[in-house]
């Protein structure tokens, strides 16, 4: 079993760490919120005060943080991972960040003998909890092969897409489709509701046909139950779509549909719903149409 460090114990990171512990790996963890660290310590992990302290003690060090600046700070900042670098250390980033940031971090870490893998994940909180994530990886093949036993504890599929940054590019492509799915699902549900047809029965009718997709299986039951909590937070979906559009600008790629979808998520954030699930983009359509998928309880 391996000595593994994990930095970032949010909805995704916490689930991943639990599965790594269940698989028998020795975990050292760090997080800004100490309550989440204590929860992992209760399961057998060891706490560390800084990313440097994590890196010094392990063979693999993972990060799972909100955005590119957060990852840069954890890797290159004061008491960062790079200060705890040692021979044989492999760095793996499960965050969703800009591909060019991933390449820059890989170059800086290579200077001190650390192999880096950008390895963003897809599958949401359910995938993190159940160990069924899809992992998109960029970086050296030798480091990837050494890390596969850890990926086996985290997910159901892992693919080496290419060199450093390729995993994040794959995640860009993933988020183009994910954003479109959330908006398409919202439009379909509101169309059924506004037309006076039961959305539950509509989903049952179409989910086995050409419209079938992961979001059709996972999101409607939560929405029908009135559960709009994350999941995958709307502000993170908005951030990821920003990365998509930045990448498109870098390479001169027109993505008009994705630009519109990001604007819909901008509207959702402006409504104060940034902490809701990305499927709660339906709130924007409810506001536009005056139709509610789940009618509010008027007795309250």
Among candidate residues 3, 46, 156, 171, the one labeled active-site is: 171
DSSP 10: S
Helix or strand (DSSP H, E) at 47: strand 46-47
Whole-angstrom Cα distance, residue 26 to residue 12? 19
Question: For residues 105 and 71, is the Cβ–Cβ distance under 8 A?
Answer: yes
Measured distance CA(12)–CA(36) in Å, rounded:
12
Contact 62, 7 (CB under 8 A): yes
The answer to whether the Cα torsion of 64, 66, 72, 76 is positive or negative is: negative
DSSP state at residue 264 = H
Place of tokens 């979001």: 215
Token pair listed for 147: 């890390």
Between CA 58 and CA 43 the distance in angstroms is 18
Q: What are phi and psi of 286, to 5 degrees?
A: -65, -40
Note whether 66 and 239 are within 8 A (CB): yes
Length of the chain: 300
Residue 171 catalytic?
A: yes
Annotated active-site positions, please?
171
């Amino acid at each position: 079993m391996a000595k593994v460090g994990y930095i970032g114990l949010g909805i995704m990171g916490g689930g991943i760490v639990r599965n790594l512990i269940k698989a028998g790996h020795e975990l050292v963890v760090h997080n800004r919120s100490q309550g989440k660290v204590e929860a992992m310590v209760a399961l057998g992990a060891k706490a560390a005060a800084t990313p440097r302290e994590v890196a010094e003690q392990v063979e693999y060090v993972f990060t799972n943080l909100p955005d590119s600046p957060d990852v840069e700070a954890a890797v290159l900042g004061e008491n960062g991972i790079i200060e705890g670098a040692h021979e044989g250390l492999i760095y793996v980033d499960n965050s969703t960040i800009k591909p060019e940031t991933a390449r820059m971090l890989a170059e800086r870490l290579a200077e001190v003998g650390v192999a880096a893998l950008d390895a963003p994940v897809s599958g949401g909180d359910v995938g993190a909890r159940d160990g069924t994530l899809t992992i998109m990886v960029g970086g050296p093949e030798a480091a990837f092969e050494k890390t596969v036993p850890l990926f086996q504890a985290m997910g159901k599929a892992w693919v080496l897409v290419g060199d450093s940054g390729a995993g994040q590019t794959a995640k860009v492509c993933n988020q183009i489709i994910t954003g479109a799915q959330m908006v398409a699902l919202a439009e379909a549900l509101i169309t059924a509701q506004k037309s006076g047809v039961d959305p539950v029965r509509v989903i049952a009718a179409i989910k086995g046909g050409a419209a079938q997709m992961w979001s059709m299986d996972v999101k409607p039951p939560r929405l029908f139950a009135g559960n709009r909590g994350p999941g995958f937070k709307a502000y993170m979906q908005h951030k990821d779509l920003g990365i998509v559009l930045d990448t498109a600008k870098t390479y001169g790629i027109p993505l008009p549909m994705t630009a519109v979808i990001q604007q819909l998520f901008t509207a959702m954030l402006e409504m104060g719903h940034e902490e809701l699930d990305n499927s709660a983009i339906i709130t924007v359509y409810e506001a536009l149409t005056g139709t509610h998928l789940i009618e509010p309880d008027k007795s309250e």
